[in-house]
Structure 1
Amino acid sequence: VGVMGPWTCDPLLARALPEVASRLAVARLNRDPTFNKGYWWDAVVLAEACQTPQAVTGLLNAERYATGLVGPLNPATCGAAGLLATAWNKPLVSWACLGDVDGLDTLVIPMPEPAGVLHAVLRFFRWAHVAVLSAPQDLWREVAQGLAQDLRARGLPVTIVTAAGTQEDEAREALRRVQRADGIRVVVMCMHSVLLGGEEQRVLLEKAKDMGMTDGTYVFIPYDALTFPLPYHHVPYPVLANNTKLRLAYDAVLTITMDSPDVTFHEALQEAKEAYEIPAHIDPTQV
């Protein structure tokens, strides 16, 4: 199984430890005959290029390394990966594809589509007008464009799609565009969560607080939390505890995440560490 992602160019994604995670997964798979069906599984980590064009061309080498693929994380690459996987007759497991997936016959979507979940929440609260703000990296720009197209196809008007980096003036300009647009209620943030160290989101939320946008006028929704179970039961996040402005701004954030009722991600990783399934030096709270 090839595990694809921009591991070498995104320091926060690198913290997901794809090599450790994939080794843990195949080790458990190989121990369980009800899942492995007599096959011996192995995994190889395939680095996805940082720039979208290079990421697409890099897919051509994936066929020789794996009989099945997990990823890629860039939605612009996902369509090409799906077509190639179909031509190769290899399964492609990805949660990053956005929009029309017709013709991607071997694509397996392993969880509820994030855009579909977001659409359901927006419909429930009757929040129709949406802005999508992204980090400046190719991955997040493609996520933002793909999400906007997906929501528009579902009937929601997405009037603003723009990027904002770690500079305050970038965040200010993006938020001014939101303020100038008519009727926007929700701002979807396609960037790393500030709870995990996302600097762009910290700057954006702090600037939104300065501009009076966190008083209930706007709802800020982190997109990345839709794709994994963000720990939220009795979990201290130092970034909020140590930053009063950010903590106040975070009152305007609505987090939608996958539930993990039995055990949190950090607890599951700690159990694996105690069972000597992962290296002893790994701190689960830093993953």
Structure 2
Amino acid sequence: MSPPSGATTTFLLIEHRREIADLNERIRNRRLQVLSLYGTPIVVVLTLLVWAGLKIFIWLSSDTPTAINAIFFSVAVLLAVAAGAQFYAEFTATVWKDAETPVRELRLELSLADERHILEARRHTPPPTDRQASYKERLPQELVRLRIESRHYRRMHLMMQWLLFVSSAAISAVTAWYDPPQPAKGVLIGLGFTITVITAAAGYFKPRERAFNLQQTADSIEQHATALELGISPYNASEEKQNLELFATTVEGMRAEQRMREQQLDQPQQGQQQVI
């Protein structure tokens, strides 16, 4: 007995998604392979040049310390061996899956896979009710993403604030300890530079505001998802279709508002005032 058409369509769409995910992974791996393949010999040459430069500019009239020679020699040999192994894997062995395959060819395969996925989805588009129900089932992943990003910006904000606190306190402590402050002038310059950079970065990236907006959007979406699950207002209509349609419309409005707030944070202060 053949499987239902719906099951066959779902299986085909899942296979297309797997193919797209595999191609994305292959593209990332191939980029790293190409970078290491051509970057490692360059690093070997730079290591030898630095070694020679130290000899010429520092130890021209004397012998280079044994420890320096041992370090540079070990690094150069290690990098040379790594470069040889990479060239062997690229041109003579079958260790790498996409050896001698240009990245643009993999991108072309990815574009074709995306096109096949879109055409297959268009030929078997489910009714709006099914798509809205599927949309509701995908929301937990969106909530997780929003909360992860919110925690990331919250931690960034806390780290910046603690660096500001420590640097500000250290400037006062170092200034009070050294009188006059000439012995600690370098420390004071470094601390002042740190405070300036962190203050400018906090004002530009606004991690606290981003964390608040993301957390607020996640909480609002979760509140509406709970209301839909419990069948309470505003999702207490007699027909499930109306509730799903209202839910999808509301959540998409929240996501659009979140994107607008992100765009406002990315703009300069004058641009934000014009948008608002």
TM-score normalised over the length of structure 1: 0.20
Higher helix share: 2
TM-score (norm 2): 0.20
Q: Which structure has greater strand proportion?
A: 1
Higher relative contact order, structure no. (Cα contacts within 8 Å, ≥ 6 residues apart): 2
Q: Looking at CA atoms only, which structure, 1 or 2, has the larger radius of gyration?
A: 2
